[in-house]
A and B are shown apart, each in its own frame.
Chain A
Amino acid sequence: MDPPRRAPRTIIDPVPKFRQVGFFAPGAPPERSQSGPPDPTHSSPPIPNTSAASLSPVMIPPPRHLSDNLIIHARPSVASPRRAESINVGGSNCDAPVSPAPSSSYSSRFAVGGDRSFFDGKGNNVGKVVASSFPRGGFDLTAMKVNANVVVPASELTTVSVVNDSLGIPEKEKANKGGGSAGEVKDHPNSKQQKPKPTKAERRALQEAQRAAKAAAKGEGNKASGPTTSVNAKPAKAVKPAQKVDNTAVAASEKKGGDCPPEKDRKKDAPQPRMQYDDQSRVEKAKRRSVVKQTEARNRVELFRHLPQYEHGSQLPDLEAKFFDLYPVHPAVYKVGLQYLSGDISGGNDRCIAMLQAFQEAIKDYKVPPEKSLGRDLTAKISSYVSFLIECRPLSISMGNAIRFIKSQIAKLPLTLSESEAKTSLQSDIERFISEKIILANKVIVKHAVTKIRDGDVLLTYGSSLAVEMILLHAHELGKQFRVVIVDSRPKLRGQHLLRRLVEKGLNCTYTHINAVSYIMHEVTRVFLGAASVLSNGTVYSRVGTASVAMVAHASRVPVIVCCEAYKFHERVQLDSICSNELGDPDVISNVPGREDVKYLDGWANIENLQLLNLIYDAMPSDYVSMIVTDYGMVPPTSVPVIVREYGREQVWI
């Protein structure tokens, strides 16, 4: 039953993909011997423009926008029989929930939910609309309706001061004047679309052309085109998608810009490079738009200058202070953003679920503005939420996939559906995504992976992964005798939470830090790892440290089993963990948990020759991976592109 141990495949990349990421002095030459491809962002820091413009060997072109393709060839669900097949491999009783008859369940839910939400929405709407537009009369009216029997000696409200212009738009303007400087950024979703469409499309086309032409010196290209005074929101909009880590936003703005196929084609031919944060002019522009105040962190590590890194201390209070200024952002989305920013929610699945639920909430409260179509306006709305969330924390790949799913669902909505029907259908789609792609996927993974646990095994895991935890618990429930080694690392120490939960359930555990992994590896028989994403070259993108654990396991000839839901797969190819990564708060690693008094690194930002690096992810080459357990079965890493290709498009989602 041992998974086959393969010899390292030299075809993919003979060079070990591990770089020493250390503290570089600003002027120090990079260690060329370690790194495979030359890194222009590093070797030529004084010329930032070139690095952003042409695709360098290191830079990976971002994926194309699937949601665009979806509209063109939306295939009916061919996949369902195949999926059922592949599931049958793992277990028998799990295939029923995975592939529910979509049509029947859909329609029943639809009817029930539709009625209620329609009713609810209506009730609320009436109250709110009346109250806001006729403050004097409306308030009392609704109040009278609500309370038939109140015991308290109720008192009447007397309106003593009324905002005269009770319409929404003038109020907005006033809010801007009155010092809500932040509101300005996002205030224009309405006004934007009222402008004549053709001119906008033309302008965009012009911009695109210029951008393509001036591929070499692009930093300046955007400034020149477009009248800046009248449409200060628009050029920003046009630039925005390109700069984001995940380019899901592209699809949205593109759809909004109108359907002009040539432009789309061109985009596909030359995908936009990711935002490089060492490009001064672009960073400046991005900052002007942003809702979250982003102060560039000082003393950034040279090699990672192209990644966004901000001073974390000031962001949260600043965003909190702007709570009431940001009304275009739905409260639920705002809450999730705050939770991302404060670190209350971390971890791939949790972030994704929280985001989806917030979107669900937002869709529930969404009302199509007059003279607009739901498809376009809602997509734009979602895009604005997404960019808000990105400002709070860069998206994970799984979230990017989920957003892509939502947008494709919006695009697929038949035009004949009424507003409330469309909303219910979207909500149930999101619901189904959560349950099928995340929860059921994990259950299926557990079914598969449990077969790989035998009595007497010593299983090693790193950090805290939901799938791995479920596997271990399930194996324990089945009565298998095994021992768990939990390897953990600073600064998050998520392994401690896992440890606590496992020990509570009566599992036999060993807890150690990653420093000791080479020692403990000798007694380990299997390594189970979670993943943030699996890329199509088999690279496993996961929490920092995972790759070293896998490397040690590989060297000790211990099989490494990666557990990852298929919705986290991505078609991107990545060879190292440098070109695309996330930087965490460097202060976190300078603090010693539980020892507030130890402050040797206080004020490190002022020491010029000191830089701290808190990487969040790393990339594990596929050579170290013996097997990937996913909801489509247990596959070798070479099969990831197959899954991405066959299931990764629209088939996966229905």
Chain B
Amino acid sequence: MDFQVVVLAGGVSKKLLPLVSKELPKALLPVANRPVLSYVVELLELSNLKDLIVVVEGEDAALNVGAWISGAYADRLHVEVAAVPEDVGTAGAIRAIARHLYAKDILVVSGDLVSDVPIGAVAATHRRHDAVVTALLCNAPISGPLESVSSGGKDKTKKPGRYDLIGLDPTKQFLLHIATGAEVEKDLRIQKSILRAVGQIEIRADLMDAHLYAFKRSVLLEVLEQKGAFNSLKHDVLPYLVRSQLKSEVLLNGIPQAEENGSEKVISQSNQQMLSQILANASEPTFHLRHTLNTNGSDSVRRTHKCCVYIAGSSKYCARLNSIQAYNDINRDVIGEASHLSGYSFSAHNNIIHPTAELGAKTTVGPHCMLGEGSQMGDKCSVKRSVIGRHCRIGANVKVVNSVVMNHVTIGDCCSIQGSVICSNVQLQERAILKDCQVGAGFVVTAGSECKGEVLAKKWN
């Protein structure tokens, strides 16, 4: 269908710092014991998109990601990995691989997307409207753990302003305004020209930009070339395209136009005009069209382009792993509500316990839990709504609630872990109590220590 897919896998994200490292870039961060990138790749595979370009920030990270992909998807997908320097931003990443893009439209997906939205639908919407850019919007996920007992206060501080403010036209097909929640301080500036043309703008704060865009390649590359300062697709390119949609500066389908003119030279120009007029009158005119036609009197024709949205249905799951909170949420959802995403089959107790995992006497693993391969648990442990990775050794009388424990973690007796993320190779000595903590890889938590809301990590060498 003449689409190319670019997966922006990122590098070592600063936002996720104790969790990620050079060895474990963001793309490989395990979500329900599977790298987060695999969710995107499999979503694409489901849509029959098997040719991917994965862009990773940093050489080391690229090597790691490449190694993982070649191991996991050999024979199934045709994946190419490109390494770009760190901090070039999403726009820079596209610039760097621009010469490898040749298809008519480019699908840019963030590697941290966990979703089951049919990607074809986004592409189809893009094609149907002949849009310059189409963005996938989804309902903003519910943040925080399900039982709001523990972190009610924390939610309140984090939740508002986190998401995007999105302006839509009444038919909910076109994007008229976009601002990231963080940028909006007090007031919201909306262009008068757009408002005048459309007549009515619906501003929504309950939608989230899922960072999945379909771009028209010619336009995307042109914008990136002209605006060298643009750093991010989401913060620079998309708002720019939305802003300028009624006074388009991009050369819309420049190449096809030239071709058409060539082949239709024989036909008089008036016919051409009439044809376009017929097509223009074809159906419900969009505001773009009305805007273009309004200026028939003046000499210059206003050029417009369309920025479309595809709004995922409320039944679809869609989340981005872009913060530690989101990491917790996604882990919870993937083994909980959105369990079809995980790709595992759940047992009768609604949990996944690998057959090689060993449980001690009187140990209970509740529903919405996951226990990885070769993990051992001592007696009288209790696990609730948590993910435990591979080859973990957990002592007796340990409580794990709402937490993520990665691989090769050793947990001593009588520990209690709540709402925390424990990275690989961490050692928790006896009676450690962690609540809402993040423990970086290889850290040793001394016996009896009690932490709340802390970030525990090794000093960077």
Contact = CB atoms under 8 A, between A and B. Distances in A.
A175 B53 CA distance: 19
B102 A142 contact: yes
A160 B283 contact: no
Contacts of B82: 155-158
In terms of DSSP, what is the predominant structure of the interface of chain A? helix
Nearest to B70: A160
A372 interface: no
A105 B266 CA distance: 7
B448 interface: no
Contacts of B267: 431, 435
Given A157-B81, A178-B48, A344 B262 contact: no
Contacts, number: 196
B161 to A, nearest CB: 29
Contacts of A266: none
Interface residues of A, number: 75
B263 A325 contact: no
A395 to B, nearest CB: 17
Contacts of B278: 349-350, 353, 438-439, 466
Nearest to A319: B124
B147 interface: no
A439 B271 contact: yes
Interface stretch (A144-152, A282-290, A407-415, A541-549): A144-152
B128 A146 contact: no
A428 B262 CA distance: 12
A150 B275 CA distance: 39
Interface in A438-486: 438-440, 442, 464, 466, 469
Contacts of B92: 152
Nearest to B62: A158
A159 B79 contact: yes
A427 interface: yes
B47 interface: yes
Contacts of A154: 96-99
A281 interface: no
A347 B282 contact: yes
A335 B80 contact: no
A7 interface: no
Contacts of B81: 157-160
B444 interface: no
B461 interface: no
B213 to A, nearest CB: 15
A439 B264 CA distance: 14
B382 to A, nearest CB: 38
B404 interface: no
A325 B80 contact: no
Interface string A503-537: 00000000000000000000000000000000000
B119 A159 contact: no
A157 B124 contact: no
A321 B80 CA distance: 25
In terms of DSSP, what is the predominant structure of the interface of chain B? mixed
B69 A161 contact: yes
B84 interface: yes
A323 B96 contact: no
Given A154-B99, A353-B279, A321 B121 contact: yes
Given A158-B80, A158-B82, A324-B48, A431 B127 contact: no
A117 B102 CA distance: 18
Contact of A155 (B69, B77, B97, B263): B97
Nearest to B74: A161
Contacts of A439: 271, 274-275, 278
B99 A143 contact: yes
A220 interface: no
Contacts of B96: 152-155
Interface string B310-334: 0001000000000000000000000
Contacts of A349: 278
B284 interface: yes
B120 A155 contact: no
A501 interface: yes
B78 interface: yes
B263 A324 contact: no
Contacts of A346: 282-283
B283 A345 contact: yes
Interface stretch (A22-30, A106-114, A190-198): A106-114
A237 interface: no
B50 A160 contact: no
Contacts of B70: 160-161
Interface string B67-97: 1011001111111111111000000100111
B263 A427 contact: yes
A15 interface: no
B66 A160 contact: yes
B1 interface: yes
Given A113-B262, A344-B284, A353-B279, A320 B120 contact: yes
A253 interface: no
A185 interface: no
Interface in A91-123: 97, 105, 108-109, 112-113, 116-117, 120
Interface in B180-227: none
Interface in A332-359: 334-335, 338-339, 342-347, 349-350, 353-354
- In this complex, which of A161, A180, A339 has the most chain B Cβ atoms within 10 angstroms of its Cβ? A161
Contacts of A431: 263-264, 267
B236 to A, nearest CB: 15
Contacts of B104: 331
- In this complex, which of A146, A163, A178, A343 has the most chain B Cβ atoms within 10 angstroms of its Cβ? A163
Interface string B45-74: 111111001110000001000110110011
Contact of A324 (B67, B84, B120): B120
Contacts of A116: 259, 262-263
B299 to A, nearest CB: 18
Nearest to A153: B96
Contacts of A97: 268
A223 to B, nearest CB: 32
B1 A331 contact: yes
A183 interface: yes
A497 B128 CA distance: 21
B156 interface: no
A180 B96 CA distance: 33
Contacts of B69: 160-161
A555 to B, nearest CB: 31
A153 B281 contact: no
A262 interface: no
A324 B274 contact: no
A301 B69 CA distance: 55
B3 interface: yes
A493 to B, nearest CB: 10
A159 B80 contact: yes
Contacts of A466: 278, 281
A323 B1 contact: yes
B79 A161 contact: yes
Nearest to A171: B50
Nearest to B99: A147
Contacts of A343: 283-284
Contact of A325 (B47, B97, B130, B262): B47
B399 to A, nearest CB: 40
7 contacts: A135-B78, A146-B99, A158-B66, A161-B77, A164-B74, A354-B282, A439-B274
Given A161-B78, A335-B130, A353-B279, 16 more contacts: A105-B266, A154-B99, A155-B55, A157-B81, A158-B66, A158-B80, A158-B82, A160-B54, A161-B77, A161-B79, A321-B120, A331-B1, A334-B127, A342-B128, A344-B129, A345-B282
Question: What 8 A-B pairs have minimum CB-CB distances, sorted nearest first?
Answer: A323-B120, A350-B282, A321-B118, A320-B124, A320-B121, A147-B99, A152-B95, A157-B80
Interface of B: 1-3, 45-50, 53-55, 62, 66-67, 69-70, 73-85, 92, 95-100, 102, 104, 118-121, 123-125, 127-130, 259, 262-268, 271, 274-275, 278-279, 281-285, 313
